[in-house]
Amino acid sequence: MTTPPATEVSDASELRHQLVEQLRADDHIRTAAVERAFRTVPRHAFAPEVTLQAAYADDTVPTRHAPDGRVISSISAPWLQADMLEAARIQPGHHVLEIGSGGYNAALIAELAGPTGHVTTLDIDPAVTERATRFLAETGYDGVRVVTADAEHLLASLVPNGGFDAIVVTVDTWDLPWIGALAEGGRLVAPLRLHGYHWAIGFTKVKGALLSDEPLIVCGFVAMQGDGAWSANRRAVPGTGVHLSWEDGTPLPVDQLAPALAREPTVIRTNITVGGQEPFDLLTLYLAGVLPGFCRLEVDPDGDNGVLNPPPEHWPAATIVRGASLARLAHERISDGDDGKGRYEFVVHGYGNQGHLAAQEVAEQVAYWQRNHRGARCPLITARQAAGRASADTDHEPHVFAKKHTRITVDWPIVSGRAGSRSTG
């Protein structure tokens, strides 16, 4: 390895410590062990293609692209890496598996596991693992085991006796096929997709099941590749530029929806508002679990879909299909808000002959969430190994997501002072 100039080493060290101070101030770094790891590992050494300032910015660093330009490997944003490593609770001597490689995060894990620990980082892309191997060796972390494999089929020979103490997943995953590889009492942290919504979730394995006990973190990672890749199950409504996706659940017919989308919708106002900078991801997760026929609606930017006003701009809209009708959640700006960033009211648009009924159904669930769950503790996620693949005609179970390997349930705590602890809507 070529020794960098002393000024570059000094600049990198200063930027690294500035980043750590920012992460501490923003409460992403909360323990001395994670702080020490971030102060020690030279992030820029794993991102030689970018400037020092870019390497130590609190942002992702793309490292590999597909032929169509999509990012297929990256160094995650430091704030998210810190949050996930805090959630993983890695201790000296732990056996740790990282799924989705790159090198830098594996080096952080190696610092946490210490000289008596064992770290394995795995990726399906040989170009990614070659890069990780090279940079880990150059930075003195050549004790990390780098494996090229499909994580969907984890080799038994990689799993230590009793299982890994922690598994950290750094790619978007639709399922959690690694429960059997985790030790009882071990931690699994993964960005899990539930109907296309992405949440980094910290789990503990208790009696063979994964139980969440950390706040859910809205996030985004590069997509899982190989046999574990997720499918959006996207369907196009003919002649409208509208697309509906059933990433969880059974896709419904969409051809009959074209006439509904040619007519002005019924609009139901909810009188429930949200600030311009206030997240409402928990509402959409709630709707995804409670409403049968839930899907997400996207619009071609150049399509002829004038009745979708306003069209979903940044994220696909929460939607339900009812025969030849559908309803979707939207919001309208009603004021500038106290902070000048806007105040918005949730509204529901219904399309088709029965669109008003579908819209009313969605609006009632928005109101239920407002009364019972908004402001309550974070929902609790449980993942259990599936007994078998759910059939396509399985009746809808509220807040249950049937995956290939697991059955995910979401428990919604009630706002303090109200009776009950679980809601089915």
Whether residue 350 contacts residue 338, with contact meaning beta carbons closer than 8 Å, is answered with: no
Instruction: Say whether the peptide bond before residue 379 is cis (omega within 30 degrees of 0).
Output: no
Whether residue 72 contacts residue 224, with contact meaning beta carbons closer than 8 Å, is answered with: no
Residue 312, token pair as written in the block: 């979903």
Separation in Å, CA 111 to CA 59, 90, 119, 137, 171: 22, 10, 10, 14, 21
Q: Is 76 a catalytic residue?
A: yes
Whether residue 37 contacts residue 112, with contact meaning beta carbons closer than 8 Å, is answered with: yes
Separation in Å, CA 4 to CA 10, 11, 45, 188, 330: 10, 11, 10, 37, 53
Whether residue 123 contacts residue 101, with contact meaning beta carbons closer than 8 Å, is answered with: yes
The residues, ordered by sequence, that sit 6+ positions from 373 with a Cβ below 8 Å of its Cβ are 282, 286, 379, 412, 413, 414, 415, 423
Given 74, 76, 212, 423, which residue is catalytic?
76
Residue 70, token pair as written in the block: 């999509």
- State the Cα–Cα distance between residues 415 and 425, nearest whole angstrom: 14
Tally Cβ neighbours within 10 Å of residue 295. Answer: 30
What b-and-e string marks burial along 376-392, b requiring 16 or more CB atoms within 10 Å of the CB?
beebbbbbbebeeebee
Catalytic machinery residues: 76
